[in-house]
Amino acid sequence: MLHPQRKIQSRLWKHRMHSGLKQTDIAKKLGLSSTAIISRWERGLAKPSLEYVLKLSLIYQTTVNNLYHDLLLEYQEELFPDMKQK
């Protein structure tokens, strides 16, 4: 089983691939001068700010929950350890 951070990077990459976009396309849409940060997000070396998360969800035509589902579950377990997941 993949660690949640690995799943997140995998989801970002998969959504970009599914959209048929290159990192350069995403960088241009986000107003970034290079693809370096996108590469870091997709490799799990950094997490995008809330602004970029919202923009990525619009670009990929999905929800923030879908992009970060595994991380949300991890935080839920951390904050509410006695709560059973559904």
**Residue 31: inside a domain, yes or no?**
yes
What is the count of structural domains for the chain?
A: 1
pLDDT digits (tens, 9 = 90+) for 9-38: 668 999 999 999 999 999 999 999 999 999
**Residues recorded for the chain:** 86
Q: What is the CATH number of the domain that holds 31?
A: 1.10.260.40
Mean pLDDT score, 33-52? 93
Q: Which two tokens stand for residue 45?
A: 């070396």
**Residue 85: inside a domain, yes or no?**
no
Q: Which domain holds residue 61?
A: 4-79
**CB-based contacts of 44: which residues, under 8 Å, 6+ apart?**
5, 6, 8, 9
Residue 2 has pLDDT above 50, yes or no: no
pTM of the predicted protein model: 0.79
**Residue 84: inside a domain, yes or no?**
no
**Residue 19: inside a domain, yes or no?**
yes
| φ, ψ for residue 66, nearest 5 deg | -70, -40
